[in-house]
């Protein structure tokens, strides 16, 4: 498995983890008192820290990080510019939600707006990584995969900050997300085999990779068995799904074949 563009691996994963946590936080009461209030504040704070870490990682992908503000100058025709703006607004809303919770103990409206903007940011990010040069990804699959990452990692990590009464909801969300993710991740490589030469090579790269199958087992099969057996998210399950998503994201950036690799033989 070739690891390249690791800064993008970290940026997209951490950004989607932050969005997933925001979604799960927005689903819980925003006026909890006592220990629950502390967990809620920590929940939003961790989401913000993950986003900041992701944004810092993204700078290492730029040839001139100091000129990163220039990425906002092409909003009319660049999905990258829109991605920067969307995650910037999302980050501002995360900070505002957390500060509002610190000051007044409630942030329901801001939290829901932050979650909604986060979903938009993930969808915009999916468009960035669905270029014509990569036939396997020049479709809706990046959007679906990125949203799945947000819901899988968000529900798994949120279990660390949720009260007992919220655990069943998170368990259900994680179980459904894992089932959908398992089906899609098994189907996509086979669908790519029916495409042009670049898409076929991509499908072959995935299906012949031990990392691909290890991810299927570690991220989807084992956690699903654990959820069915224990009826809750065990403390080790988020670790497995994060590792699985990391492997999947590295393959996303390292194993998908560009059309240029098939020049002279593209079908």
Residue 142 structure tokens? 């990046």
Q: b or e along 168-192 (b: 16 or more beta carbons within 10 Å of the residue's beta carbon)?
A: eebbebbbebbebbbeebeebbeeb
Residue 239's domain is classified under what CATH number? 1.20.1630.10
Tokens 């990392």, residue located: 211
Residue 1 lies in a domain: no
Name every residue whose Cβ is closer than 8 Å to that of residue 73 and which is 6 or more positions away in sequence.
81
Q: Report the largest interatomic distance among the alpha carbons of the chain, rounded to a whole angstrom.
A: 67
Q: Within a domain: residue 227?
A: yes
Q: Is residue 67 part of a domain?
A: yes
- What is d(CA 105, CA 36) in angstroms, rounded to the nearest whole number? 11
Q: What is the pLDDT of residues 21-46, one digit of tens each?
A: 999 999 876 655 555 667 888 999 99
Rounded to 10 degrees, the C-alpha dihedral 131/132/137/141 comes to 80
Q: Give the per-residue pLDDT at 267.
A: 47
* pLDDT per residue as tens digits for the range 125-167: 999 999 999 999 999 999 999 999 999 999 999 999 988 888 9
Query: CB of 163 within 8 A of CB of 48?
Result: no
List, for residues 209-231, the tens digit of each pLDDT value: 999 999 999 999 999 999 999 99
Q: What is the DSSP letter of 257?
A: P
Assigned domain for 267 exists: no
The whole-number pLDDT of residue 69 equals 56
The number of domains in the chain is 1
Contact predicate 53/87, CB 8 Å: no
Query: What are 265's two structure tokens?
Result: 């033989």
Residue 230 lies in a domain: yes
For residue 148, being part of any structural domain is answered with: yes
Secondary structure of residue 234 in the 3-state scheme = coil
- Structural domain contains residue 25: yes
Domain of residue 139: give its range.
Answer: 6-262
> Distance of CA 80 to CAs 39, 70, 73, 124, 145, Å?
34, 11, 10, 8, 18
pLDDT for 61: 61
pLDDT tens figures, 197-211: 999 999 999 999 999
How far is Cα 34 from Cα 46, in angstroms, rounded to an integer?
19
Q: Is residue 117 part of a domain?
A: yes
């Amino acid at each position: 498995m070739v690891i390249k563009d690791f800064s993008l691996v970290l940026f997209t994963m951490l950004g989607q983890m932050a969005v997933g946590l925001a979604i799960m936080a927005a689903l819980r009461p925003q006026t909890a008192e006592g220990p629950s209030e502390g967990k809620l504040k920590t929940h939003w704070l961790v989401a913000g820290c993950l986003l900041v870490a992701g944004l810092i990682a993204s700078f290492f992908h730029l040839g001139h990080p100091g000129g990163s503000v220039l990425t906002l100058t092409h909003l009319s025709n660049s999905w990258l510019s829109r991605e920067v703006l969307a995650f910037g607004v999302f980050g501002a809303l995360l900070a505002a939600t957390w500060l509002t919770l610190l000051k007044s103990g409630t942030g329901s409206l801001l939290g829901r707006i932050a979650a909604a903007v986060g979903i938009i940011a993930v969808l915009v990010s999916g468009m960035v990584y669905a270029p014509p040069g990569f036939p396997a990804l020049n479709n809706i699959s990046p959007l679906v995969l990125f949203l799945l990452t947000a819901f899988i990692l968000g529900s798994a990590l949120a279990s660390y900050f949720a009260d007992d009464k919220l655990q069943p909801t998170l368990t259900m969300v994680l179980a459904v997300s894992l089932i959908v993710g398992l089906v899609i991740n098994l189907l996509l490589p086979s669908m790519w085999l029916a495409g042009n030469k670049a898409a076929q090579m991509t499908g072959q790269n995935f299906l012949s990779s031990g990392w691909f199958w290890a991810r299927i087992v570690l991220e989807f099969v084992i956690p699903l068995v654990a959820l069915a057996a224990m009826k809750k998210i065990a403390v080790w399950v988020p670790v497995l799904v994060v590792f699985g998503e990391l492997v999947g994201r590295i393959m996303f950036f390292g194993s998908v074949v560009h059309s240029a690799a098939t020049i002279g033989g593209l079908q």
